[in-house]
Structure 1
């Protein structure tokens, strides 16, 4: 890979990226604000409709909501009253798409930022990846995972044994939303709660990115050695409508006054 361009100084990079960052940040910040409000209002309703949940701290209920919406489901806290259970169903129906949309948008934002930096470093493939929403390379994702697990072992508090295999175990079952519940996050302060939510969100986004890349490899293996047929009927999007490749070729032929083959 070629080195970064000599004129790609930090100031020049920041100036070139600033308009894109601002345009992308506004809707992301709106989604984050909406999600935070959704968690706070939900915690108030849960504690007012369920006597058992009312005995837990407000921070614990927030974490319970986050685990519900991300489908981690640690299982240490659950609604017991009929009213709170019905509310949990409605709350999840609206909240799960909201939190998944927020994570998906942030994941795309991070991926775009990565390829934009690679574009500034004159990586030839970066331009096409920017235009096609390409995934991050697998080695980069694995490196980020390694860094995340190391970071978690140093700074993330949980009920397991610190500085042991429990650190990686807790992160893994949380990022993959397995959530056995045998190792739980510790959120005894607002700072630790916010840190834990950010850590888990980052890990789930990384896991989603990893699954996306692995899915591409599996699709290549699935079609390995097969002869590609039916190209004429492959759908493509153009001008806001879906057309087939044969229709696209006909449009191009008419535009240049040639006969389509």
Structure 2
């Protein structure tokens, strides 16, 4: 008697059927999670989970910091007023020295409130979108798992910093796998599109043309010639696979440049940036450098709508996927260039040999 038969003997039929259904469901769930769509859904759910966690941990502290800065400002005002009453009849030099000390202390406290406590410069009665609202926390989560890390918004609580470590430890490998899979999938799709639009077009060649006529670059075994009213038509054979199609490197660069230009126009309109600043931000973001010196929503008047943060998040994710696709497309072309260079240097033997 096998182990499963012994277990079934001690369990009622209903419990056994329920356990069997649970095992079947878990297997299907695991298979779905490791599929293309499953990994994408998993990354999206993970980013949303991070937005909920970081928003709950940091939003209250952000509001508290505004109240603390308000009290600090009121205290400074009272100190200056007291100095005015005491030193009213004294020389201007003594009064300026006393007030300067008070303002210097206030300046240091404001610096600590910004760098250490994360004060965003907004008033205590600010009714706009918080940095740690759902959309702000979602943007922060995406910058963490994509390793961009702007640094303009960072957790200030101990719990938030510990959560960031754990969150990044799991999210970064998951996101890298997702981007690699999406880049490979989009690369195959773009190869099929490129082959259909460019490489697979019929090229008519006059039969009377000399041997110097230009033909479509392809493997001779995958070319067939058809007669069409005194003209020879060179077409690609059906046996040629999409994976054998090579996309030129300059096409990949044009795709990336076009996407950066789209982002340049978008952020120039939203943030009133000049084109150089907007293009600089898009390049720094898509290259995952993420200096954080120029970040959308960093000014006090920007981001009147939360939809802008969601759009920015989608721009980042789709842009990184596009970069991954271009890298995937350039691999075959760079490999072929390296082979040609190796044959030219004599390091590799020619295929004809």
Q: 1:180 to 1:159 in 2, by over 3 A?
A: farther
Task: Note the C-alpha offset of 1:32.
Answer: 2.8
Separation of aligned partners in 1, 2:309 and 2:53:
19
Separation of aligned partners in 2, 1:28 and 1:190:
29
Correspondent of 1:41 among 36, 43, 49 = 49
Task: Note the C-alpha offset of 1:188.
Answer: 5.0
TM-score, with length taken from structure 2: 0.49
Runs (5+) with no aligned partner, structure 1: 1-25, 230-261
Q: 1:188 to 1:109 in 2, by over 3 A?
A: farther
Separation of aligned partners in 1, 2:291 and 2:165:
21
Moved over 6 A (4+): none
Separation of aligned partners in 1, 2:62 and 2:316:
23
Correspondent of 2:317 among 201, 207, 220 = 201
Aligned residue for 1:141? 252
1:70/1:177 contact within 8 Å kept: yes
Aligned residue for 1:59? 135
Aligned residue for 2:182? 106
Separation of aligned partners in 2, 1:205 and 1:111:
10
Runs (5+) with no aligned partner, structure 2: 1-33, 64-129, 202-216, 219-235, 298-302
Aligned residue for 2:345? 225
Separation of aligned partners in 1, 2:138 and 2:269:
16
Correspondent of 1:74 among 147, 150, 154 = 150
1:39/1:65 contact within 8 Å kept: yes
Separation of aligned partners in 1, 2:284 and 2:269:
12
- The CA deviation string for residues 32-73 of structure 1, in whole angstroms up to 9 with x for no partner, is 322222122222222333443676222111111111111111
Correspondent of 2:280 among 169, 172, 196 = 169
Task: Tell me if 1:86 matches 2:162.
Answer: yes
Separation of aligned partners in 1, 2:325 and 2:338:
17
Task: Tell me if 1:115 matches 2:191.
Answer: yes
- The CA deviation string for residues 188-244 of structure 1, in whole angstroms up to 9 with x for no partner, is 544323321222123223334455537964882885625249xxxxxxxxxxxxxxx
- The CA deviation string for residues 74-126 of structure 1, in whole angstroms up to 9 with x for no partner, is 00111222222222111111111222222222212221111112343416759
The count of residues paired between Structure 1 and Structure 2 equals 203
Q: 1:46 to 1:220 in 2, by over 3 A?
A: same
Task: Note the C-alpha offset of 1:178.
Answer: 0.8
- Bigger radius of gyration among the two: 2
2:139/2:310 contact within 8 Å kept: no
TM-score, with length taken from structure 1: 0.64
1:160/1:184 contact within 8 Å kept: no
SS at match of 1:156: helix
Q: 1:97 to 1:145 in 2, by over 3 A?
A: same
Q: What do you get for the CA RMSD once the two structures are aligned?
A: 3.4
